[in-house]
Structure 1
Amino acid sequence: MKPNPFTLILAVVAITSVCVTGCNAPAQKADATTEQVAVKPDMAAIKTEIQAIETEWASATTAKDIDKVMALYADDAIEMADDEPMCVGKAAIRQVLLKSMKARKAGTTVNYETTDVYGDDNVVTEVGKTTIKDAAGKVVSTGKYVGIFEKRDGKFICIRDINNEDQKDN
């Protein structure tokens, strides 16, 4: 039986189509690429670290140890204290804090409580509450604050601080 020329042409076209399609198919990568998985920071550990800073801060504030308090601020920090203009840099912050320490009655204690932290291993925003008690242990003032800490030289340091007192009963 003699082959039909039409069948032969059809077979050549089919084989050519398979070859062309196969050659144009996207190449499969031989090695699987590894996806970059973002490691979530341990926010509980960071909160503990920030609370330790705040505990140190409260102790220094209670003791009116301005040098220890200032060591917790970055040189380029900004402080926005209640009823004060914005302070930029340690020298300006120092003056406002000295004024506040001088105005506080002897025997009062300061406590800072970290309630939340947000961020990552390098920059953390903290939300907290302030409680000030007199020498007898009676709460004389409460307030709230937001601090932003940046890790510099392996430790968190305050770069932004805003705080204010709660409304007092009249």
Structure 2
Amino acid sequence: MKNSIFKGGLMVVIMFVMLACNQKKEVPAVMVDKEAIKTEIQAMENAFADAYNNRSTDGINYYAEDAISYSNGKMPLEGKKLIHEHMNSELLTFPQDAKISFETKEIHPSNDGNMVVEIGGYKVTDASNKKINSGNFISLFEKKDGKYVCIRDMGNSDMPLTKK
């Protein structure tokens, strides 16, 4: 009798251990191709620069409708429409022979690739390719309908301040 109680108890313990050790297997994380994302973001930056250099914001499909943009000494610009209006006013004083370019230096995608933080730099040159302005920026992108759009960005010039 003691032997069958012992065997029954041992069997319960073994089954309990087996069930406890049978953990759910983790689903492998989605592989995010950082280089492909960086290439895609850089292409967006190039298209932005091309449109800006052509003195038009019409070709800038960079921002989400509800984007917010932060700049030095200015209130945040809320919404794609207001951001584009501000860019149009900046273009009025942008030197005619100047060109802007953007460089994606780093990207930091979320595990699923639906959000991306970009760290980059910009440079404005004159007709002789002399730097007349430069700076850095950070942008947050979200993937909507299969493509990235900027939902937040912040930039600042790294040029020395001029005294007024």
TM interval, shorter chain, is: 0.7 to 0.9
* Equivalent position of 2:75 in the other structure: 85
Aligned partners of 2:125 and 2:34: how far apart in 1? 30
Task: Indicate if the aligned counterparts of 2:118 and 2:139 stay in contact, CA closer than 8 A.
Answer: yes
Partner of 1:35: 26
Aligned-partner Cα distance in 2 for 1:73–1:16: 72
Amino acid at match of 1:59: D
Question: How many residues were matched structurally?
Answer: 157
* Structure 2 unmatched ranges of 5 or more: none
Superposed, which structure 2 residues align to 1:20-99 within 5 Å? 20-25=9-14, 26=16, 28=18, 34-69=25-60, 71-99=61-89
Q: Equivalent residue for 1:163?
A: 155
Spell out, residue by residue over 1:12-59, the C-alpha distance to the aligned partner (whole angstroms, 9 max, x if none): 213321212213432746x99543121331111111110111011111
What pairs with 1:143-154 in structure 2 (closer than 5 Å)? 143-154=135-146
Does the residue aligned with 1:68 lie in a helix, a strand or coil?
A: coil
Q: Secondary structure at the match of 1:67?
A: coil
Normalization by structure 1: what TM-score? 0.84
Q: Deviations over 1:49-81 (max 9, x none)?
A: 101110111111111111112x22110000112
> Does structure 2 retain, via aligned residues, the 8 Å contact 1:106–1:135?
no
Unaligned runs of at least 5 residues, structure 1: 1-11
Q: Is the 8 A contact 2:64 2:150 kept in 1?
A: yes
2:2 aligned with 1:13, yes or no? yes
56-65 vs 122-131, greater mean Cα deviation:
56-65
TM-score normalised over the length of structure 2: 0.87
1:135 shift after superposition: 1.4
**Quick check: 2:141–2:150 contact (8 Å CA) kept in 1?**
yes
SS at match of 1:106: coil
What is the Cα deviation at residue 134 of structure 1?
A: 0.6
Moved segments of 4+, more than 3 Å = 31-34
Alpha-carbon shift at residue 90 of structure 1 (Å): 1.8
Partner of 1:114: 104
RMSD: 2.0
